Chains A and B, each alone.
Chain A
Amino acid sequence: MLSQESLQQIDREIAKYPPDQKQSAVMSALRIAQIEMGWLAKETIEFVAGYLDMPAIAAYEVASFYNMYDLQPVGRHKITVCTNLPCALSGGVHAADYVKQKLGIDFNETTPDGKFTLKEGECMGACGDAPVLLVNNHHMCSWMTTEKIDQLLADLENK
């Protein structure tokens, strides 16, 4: 189900833990699976659980507990804007409103062309860089003025 490359990455994660604690690699394994598949379908989670010799329900619990896992399909680019108080004091909410207006969608929606999904985020531990947003979970963008948001969306549009 997952590519050879993803499985090799998962194997490297498993090696970080004691031999009888393969389950410890589940968070990484789900992350790796999500990157390859775009989101975590039930079958994907079951596959990961099987690969780690853990019950499927336990892997499903993990996938649903941590909010960076997507249990529903998302657009090609998921944008998560932090609106927590420290960011909000430096324009986090304004930045989120600007992205909403540009994309014509609200939080938890996807553009009709399937390119963008927008999420509201909690503190990302980067409040000094407000406004802050994440692209596809892993790429953090700091000091997002409206000009930088324009630039980012234009770049992502073509990716």
Chain B
Amino acid sequence: MSARGLILAGVDGDRTWRLQDYIGRGGYSALKKIIAEKIPAETIIAELKASSLRGRGGAGFPTGLKWSFMPRSFPGAKYLACNSDEGEPGTFKDRDILRYNPHSVIEGMTIAAYAMGCERGYNYIHGEIFEIYERFEEALAEAREAGLLGQKILGSDFSFELFAHHGYGAYICGEETALLESIEGKKGQPRFKPPFPASYGLYGKPTTINNTETFASVPFIVNMGGENFLNLGKPNNGGTKLFSISGHVNRPGNYEIGMGTPFAELLEMAGGMRGGRKLKAVIPGGSSSPVLPATVMMDCTMDYDSIAKAGSMLGSGAVIVMDETTCMVKALERLSYFYFEESCGQCTPCREGTGWLYRVVHRIENGLGRRDDLDLLNSVTGNIMGRTICALGDAASMPVQSFIKHFGSEFEYHIENKKCLVPPEVQHQGSQIYVSP
């Protein structure tokens, strides 16, 4: 079962996303059980804690604990937000969850609203996947029509209104407080924390934000019980998880597997290395997570603890695979450009620092690097990290530090020889347009 996953188990591409298909797969049985048996909120949260489900959006915070922070008895409005603003380079799992199984997210959010006493929720969907936003609105209409969402759900006293909100091209809105600002109709600039959203969130009211995959896991946990979910993974790393594999493999795509599966197995599922070429490096958890050299990665299992021990982060589960044809300076240059472009500009260390990082990596890549540029890069990252409002500053710095740490000689070669260690034709050949058969 673990190899076939939970959230994507039994889905058949674009053909089976509708309500009746989801119900056919056992969907909404968790919500129905909760309402019929009037299961107390504390019991649901206890199951989540037992499941060891950790947030799938990147930080890996235990979901049950997060839900227990919500002041359930707070009078007045409380909100729920789903983070489907997936834009971390390499990550493309929430898109598949939303297009193939949108009702799992709706059911998960509805159970969350029940457990935390939220009256209203929003699913914030990345602007670039607008067609999926439209599908989600259709799924919401189906759920409302069937009495599974809205006022007096399934004839009970419990009501929950859920709506879709779209982004329009700003990576930073994936940061949870920027996301709230954006729902409020403002620029997506992160807020200072504290106060945390559980006390001061959307419209100043207590709010819980979770990732799409986190919510989608909830109905399965309620159905199978926390402990069974935990056992699909390994201790402290419960359940199954979607891994998005991109880059130089034969079959890029999403693979939903038990936590703790060896990386080597995942790589094999993705068809192995393209053209039989040699693995050089892997970014294991989205572009913000530190890069790992092939030998280190081949010894890892895919879970929070193993990847952390190896010096990186499981993050969002986006695995970017690079083979021997990759120029590490060029790879870093593109990522650094991204963070520079996407910094919201609120904090000086991030706004100025990301510009410095990009310009220096760019000049090294273009044969204009200076002898002390690597020290300069390290000192700029040192000045960014820990000095910003949100984690984008760190996200921009960690790739730079890790690329230099593990592939420093390639950077030095560039600076000395004003050209790349990997000949341009080889790079060119390695990153041709590739579509898996």
In the assembled complex, the CB of B432 is this many whole angstroms from the nearest CB of chain A, namely 5
How many chain-B residues does the 8 Å CB contact rule pick out? 61
**Set of chain A residues within 8 Å of B433, measured between Cβ atoms:** 90-91, 94-95, 131, 144-146
In the assembled complex, the CB of B254 is this many whole angstroms from the nearest CB of chain A, namely 7
* A-B contacts besides A24-B185, A83-B334, A125-B92, 19 pairs, CB < 8 Å: A16-B165, A17-B163, A18-B77, A26-B185, A27-B166, A30-B168, A58-B186, A66-B170, A66-B188, A86-B247, A89-B430, A122-B171, A122-B342, A123-B90, A123-B91, A125-B129, A128-B254, A137-B130, A139-B131
**Residue B69 is within 8 A (CB to CB) of chain A in the complex:** no
Contact assessment for A128 and B252 in the assembled complex, using a CB-CB cutoff below 8 Å: yes
B-contact bits for A123-146, CB 8 A (1 contact / 0 none)? 111111111001001111001111
For A123, give its contact among B87, B164, B185 (CB under 8 Å).
B87
Contact assessment for B91 and A68 in the assembled complex, using a CB-CB cutoff below 8 Å: no
Q: Evaluate whether A66 and B245 lie within 8 angstroms (CB atoms) in the complex, with A18-B203, A21-B203, A89-B326 already known.
A: no
Q: Name which residue of chain A comes closest to B94, CB basis.
A: A125
Which of A24, A66, A86, A122: most chain B Cβ within 10 A? A86
**Residue B380 is within 8 A (CB to CB) of chain A in the complex:** no
Q: Evaluate whether A128 and B170 lie within 8 angstroms (CB atoms) in the complex, with A84-B338, A89-B431 already known.
A: no
**Set of chain B residues within 8 Å of A2, measured between Cβ atoms:** none
**Residue B128 is within 8 A (CB to CB) of chain A in the complex:** yes
**Residue A54 is within 8 A (CB to CB) of chain B in the complex:** yes
In the assembled complex, the CB of A62 is this many whole angstroms from the nearest CB of chain B, namely 6
In the assembled complex, the CB of A10 is this many whole angstroms from the nearest CB of chain B, namely 13
A-contact bits for B182-209, CB 8 A (1 contact / 0 none)? 1111111000000000000001000000
In the assembled complex, the CB of A111 is this many whole angstroms from the nearest CB of chain B, namely 22
Q: Is the interface of B mostly helix, strand, loop or mixed?
A: mixed
Contact assessment for B89 and A127 in the assembled complex, using a CB-CB cutoff below 8 Å: yes
For A145, give its contact among B184, B186, B321, B435 (CB under 8 Å).
B435
**Residue B63 is within 8 A (CB to CB) of chain A in the complex:** no
For B341, give its contact among A25, A58, A66, A122 (CB under 8 Å).
A122
Q: List 28 A-B contacts (CB under 8 A).
A: A16-B165, A31-B168, A62-B186, A68-B128, A85-B89, A85-B320, A85-B331, A85-B338, A86-B318, A88-B334, A88-B431, A89-B247, A89-B322, A90-B431, A94-B431, A122-B89, A126-B129, A127-B89, A127-B90, A127-B91, A127-B252, A128-B92, A128-B246, A128-B252, A138-B130, A139-B131, A140-B128, A143-B435
Contact assessment for A61 and B186 in the assembled complex, using a CB-CB cutoff below 8 Å: yes
Tell me the bound Cα distance from A140 to B134 in angstroms: 13
